[in-house]
Amino acid sequence: MRFAAIDLGTNTVRLLVGEPDGAGGFRPVFAAQETTRLGQGLLPDRELKPKPIRRSLAALQRFRRAAESHAATRIAVVGTSALREATNREAFLARARREAGLEVRVVSGEEEARLTLLGVRAAVPLGHGPWLLMDIGGGSTEFLLADGAEVRATVSTGLGVVTLTEAHLKADPPLPGDLAAVRDVVASRVARVRTRDLPDLVSAALHPGLAFVGTAGTVTSLAAIDLALVPYDPEQVNGHRLTRDRVATLCGELASLPLARRRRIRGLEPARADVIVAGALVCLGAMEGLGLPELTVSDGGLREGILLDLLHRPATGPSPLGVPGQGRGPSAP
């Protein structure tokens, strides 16, 4: 039996089809992603705009057909920050049901972190000591503090690469003052994470075995750039380590280049070139503000966690992810 997971993010829609491997994990069968920028123009009125809606619905239609062509019998779709924030969320969800035949479950930041934890733990061996997970997304960045598989605390910050780019980085290349504005926003929010949102973080950071792990497109892109990967190779990205100094260097280099040149950087997906500067600033600001000298990169994340969660659910009946049971719904147009 094969299942499919779709991560409907603020910036990217990602599909993964997999089957049980007999050991509690999965064997990947097919994977794809498209940058649809669902959260484009979301702020300040918190309304999803027509063009991003059409792009995202079209991707959902294509991904449903792809999942079914690879014999997936159940499809779980999870929506994140953009759909959490959108005032017209229900209208979008209704169109997803009608036009793509898919039920989208909009999860909280905490549930997103839990699912991401599943995917990260399957990709990177983390041991049993305390560790901190950072998931940099298009509309928000989540932090999760854990001991092994036990979650101690989570926080969703609102620091998203799409929202920060639209709010501050409008010149090409970005102006020094605009870069400073992003740094200030990130520093202020990370300080709140350290002092208020994750009260156990300071004591955990003093632990010599604390691991800092990053996932999602910004962090994997920084790893791919560092490794000059063409094509992208998740096996090389998983477990790759980035020092704070190296992230600072990459951040400076990316910010100094106009968009056309960033799109040609070896290892960087061209569709991510316009938001990678904001993402790198979030990554660097987190490492500086939390006093963490090194980051371990995980290619596994939310998409993989959705699939693992689905694999361990009953084959019939409702799922906590809001997906249908076995069988196909209406065909996508």
Q: Determine if the peptide bond prior to 173 is cis (ω within 30°).
A: yes
CB 135 within 8 A of CB 109: no
For the chain, what's the residue count? 333
CB 144 within 8 A of CB 132: yes
Task: Domains for the chain: give ranges and CATH numbers.
Answer: 2-109+303-311 (3.30.420.40), 126-299 (3.30.420.150)
Residue 85 contacts by C-beta under 8 Å, 6 or more apart in sequence? 39, 42, 46, 139
Q: How far is CA 330 from CA 64, 78, 316, in A?
A: 11, 19, 18
CA gap 102, 178 in Å, rounded: 40
Which residues, 6+ apart, have CB-to-CB distance to 56 below 8 Å? 8, 13, 36, 38
Residue tagged 């280049």 (tokens): 257
> What confidence score (pLDDT) does residue 108 get?
87
Q: What is the mean pLDDT of the chain?
A: 87
Other C-beta atoms within 10 Å of 170: how many? 10
Residue for token pair 């249908």: 324
Judge contact between 255 and 174, C-beta under 8 A: yes
pLDDT value at residue 315: 58
Average pLDDT over residues 230-248: 92
Distance between CA atoms of 9 and 83, rounded to whole angstroms? 8
pLDDT in tens, 244-266: 999 999 999 999 999 999 999 99
pLDDT single digits (tens) 93-150: 999 999 999 999 999 877 888 888 888 888 888 766 678 899 898 888 988 888 777 7
- When computed from its CA atoms, the radius of gyration of the chain, rounded to whole angstroms, is 19
3-state helix/strand/coil string of the chain? CEEEEEEECCCEEEEEEEEECCCCCEEEEEEEEEECCCCCCCCCCCCCCHHHHHHHHHHHHHHHHHHHHCCEEEEEEEECHHHHHCCCHHHHHHHHHHHHCCCEEECCHHHHHHHHHHHHHHHCCCCCCEEEEEEECCCCEEEEEEECCEEEEEEECCCCHHHHHHHHCCCCCCCHHHHHHHHHHHHHHHHHHHHHHCCCHHHHHCCCCCEEEEECHHHHHHHHHHHCCCCCCHHHHCCCEEEHHHHHHHHHHHHHCCHHHHCCCCCCCHHHCCCHHHHHHHHHHHHHHCCCCEEEEECCCHHHHHHHHHHCCCCCCCCCCCCCCCCCCCCCC
pTM, to two decimals: 0.81
Q: Which of 148-162, 164-178, 303-317 has the highest mean pLDDT?
A: 164-178
Instruction: Retrieve residue 80's tokens.
Output: 């994140």
The predicted structure's pLDDT at residue 201 = 65
pLDDT of residue 330: 32
Closest CA to 213 of 303, 131, 293, 304: 131
What is the predicted pLDDT for the residue at 180?
96
Amino acid at 148: G
User: Which of 92, 88, 118, 117 shows the shortest CA–CA distance to 105?
Assistant: 92
> Which of the four pLDDT bands, split at 50, 70 and 90, describes residue 268?
very high
First-to-last C-alpha distance (Å) of the chain: 25
Nearest to 5 by CA among 312, 316, 332, 331: 312
| Identity of the residue numbered 233 | D
